[in-house]
Amino acid sequence: MSAAASDTTRSLADVTQGTIAEALASDGLWLDLGAVTLNVRSDSSVLAAQLKIVYGHYPFIDKAEWADAHIRIMQARGLRRWVRPQVVFYCDGRLAFDPFPADSPLPLLEWGANWLVAQRLNDLLLLHAGAVERDGFALLLPAMPGSGKSTLTAALTQRGWRLLSDEFGAFDPAAGIFRAMLKPVALKNASIEVIRDFAPDSVLGPVFPKTRKGRVAHLAPNMASVQRRHETARPGAVVLPQWQAGSLTRWEPLAEHVLFPALSFNAFNYNLLGEEGFRAAITLVRQCPGWQLIYSDLDDALATIDAAWPGVVERQAQAEGS
């Protein structure tokens, strides 16, 4: 777990698409996500343009001493290079996934990178949750697919919350803090238009219409979130979101025995960590108040969270001072 060894004042947005493509085709592009660094190489003709959009605020690093994972997104060989071209995902020299269409290297990179992080970062408890920060404290949004987790996470980041991750609540049990695993937010199907309407100035990458999860587009993290990706956050609160068409906003407190499975059973590596994972989950449940949020109106949902947040900050501050 490390940051890239060398940094630069230039971002991917500052350099040309050709410069990014040259880095990908040579020693690679280092993507410093906060808690983890990826080295990405590729001969795809379109990946550089896609990265320039959704990783635009990230530093352009084409030389570094270390990466936690080495990824290659390469054009499929043989007939596939000419008939229905595809790209394939290699990690540390091994083919890891089924091929994707050649025009869709970004979703292959994103999903493959998520899989690698979930497999490898076992010094952290990796909760399957959106994670945002305000006032130094983390708000976790654990949920099952289709619950509106990514939509709500994305919306919060457009209203003053710092994005830590759309996919990982990365809790460091030894330090008692959350670390950023900062990648673009993957929006699916109707969520794409919801966020476009909600935040017209947000930066969305291309729409990939025929993935295994339907239509997918990626929301670029804003500059502040990228610049602060090495800042940690203390445990704050947990909200279990559930989008329901036409529903009034409902905000209901949750008992500890409900919060515990919502966190632990949605963790990627809870079982692997054993006793350490259990103790970490118990620590979070006892420290963080939790609510169920049922909503259909995004503005109303955010207003409800914002209204509760000062009480969370006060509670955590009092606990730290006692």
Identify whether residues 155 and 264 lie together within a single domain: yes
Same domain, 300 and 220: yes
Residues 150 and 285 in one domain: yes
Residue 5 included in any domain: no
pLDDT at 290 over 80: yes
188-198 pLDDT, tens digit each: 999 999 999 99
- Do 209 and 67 share a domain, yes or no? no
Supply the mean pLDDT for the chain. Answer: 92
Does 234 map to a domain?
yes
- DSSP letters along 173-196, please? TTTTEEE-B---EEEETHHHHHHH
Q: Are residues 168 and 46 in the same domain?
A: no
Confidence of residue 6 (pLDDT cuts 50, 70, 90): very low
Amino acid at residue number 296: S
* Together in a domain, 238 and 255: yes
Residue 181 Cα to chain centre, angstroms: 6
The verdict on residue 4 lying in a domain is no
Of the three residues 120, 150, 175, the one that is the final residue of a domain is 120
- Where is the domain boundary, 120, 135, 166? 120
Residue 277 has pLDDT above 90, yes or no: yes
pLDDT band at 284 (very low <50, low <70, confident <90, very high): very high
Q: How many CB atoms lie within 10 A of CB 271?
A: 11
In a domain, 174, yes or no: yes
Please name which of 215, 274, 262, 203 lies closest in space to residue 238, comparing C-alpha atoms. 262
Residue 6 in domain = no
- Domain-ending residue, one of 78, 104, 120: 120
Q: Please give the Cα distance from 44 to 105 (Å, whole number).
A: 7
Between residues 222 and 211, the one the model is more confident about: 222
Which tens digit of pLDDT belongs to each residue from 42-70? 999 999 999 999 999 999 999 999 999 99
Which residues are CB-contacts of 138 (< 8 A; sequence separation ≥ 6)?
A: 131, 132, 164, 169, 178, 233, 234, 235, 236
Residue 322's CB is within 10 A of a number of other CB atoms, namely 5
With vertex at residue 229, the alpha carbon angle to CA 125 and CA 192, rounded to the nearest 5 degrees, is: 85
Q: Are residues 116 and 130 in the same domain?
A: no
Q: Which domain holds residue 139?
A: 125-321
Instruction: List helix spans (H) across the chain.
Output: 17-25, 47-54, 105-120, 149-157, 190-198, 223-227, 256-264, 270-273, 275-287, 298-321
**What pLDDT, on the 0 to 100 scale, is given for residue 79?**
61
Assess whether 196 and 91 both reside in one domain.
Answer: no
Residue 164 pLDDT grade (very low, low, confident, very high; cuts 50, 70, 90): very high
Q: Does one domain contain both 159 and 263? A: yes
> What is the structure's pLDDT at 7?
47
Query: Do 131 and 101 lie in a common domain?
Result: no
Query: Of 3-7, 139-143, 251-255, which gets the smallest average pLDDT?
Result: 3-7
Task: Write out the E strands in 80-154.
Answer: 86-91, 94-95, 100-101, 125-134, 137-142
Residue 144 is predicted with a pLDDT of: 74
The answer on 141 and 67 residing in a single domain is: no
For residue 138, tell me if it sits in a domain.
yes
Q: Is residue 46 part of a domain?
A: yes
- Confirm if 97 and 108 have CB atoms less than 8 A apart: yes
Q: How many folded domains does the chain comprise?
A: 2
pLDDT at 211 over 90: no
pLDDT of 8 higher than 60? no
**What pLDDT, on a 0 to 100 scale, did the predictor assign at position 20?**
98
User: So what's the pLDDT on residue 81?
Assistant: 63
311 and 166 share a domain?
yes
In a domain, residue 2? The reply is no
